[in-house]
Amino acid sequence: MPVYREAAPHMDRPGWYIGIHDWESLGTALEVQTGVPGFEESLAKLRDFRKALFAWERRWNLAHPEPLSWAIQHFPIWAKAPEVAGKAISSA
């Protein structure tokens, strides 16, 4: 969660090629913006976030983009309500 909180302000930064909303868009944003002046800090924070997601993936043996996308989509909720972090959230 701490790595996400550091990366979150950079995920919606004006000037990103695309919005970061899943695993694929995170990779695309990093690829497209690498080397673009003014994005060094954002890229560093997002790389740290991606590295933390890789560690989480390895820990739980989740070698597929879907759980990584799911995590990216749920981090904003978990950041606002840490007591539900990692738990299933239902609308019922």
**Residue-wise pLDDT tens for the chain (92 aa)?**
678 778 877 787 666 656 788 899 899 888 888 888 888 898 899 999 999 999 989 998 988 899 899 888 888 777 777 676 666 656 55
Q: Angle CA(64)–CA(69)–CA(73) in degrees, nearest 5? A: 160
Euclidean distance between CA atoms 55 and 84, whole angstroms: 21
The answer to whether 59 and 10 are in contact (CB under 8 A) is: no
For the record, the structure tokens of 84 come out as 């539900």
- What is the pLDDT, as a whole number, of residue 90? 61
pTM: 0.77
For the record, the structure tokens of 70 come out as 């799911």
For the record, the structure tokens of 89 come out as 């959230």
- What is the pLDDT, as a whole number, of residue 55? 92
**C-alpha dist (Å) from residue 11 to 37, 62, 78:** 17, 23, 16
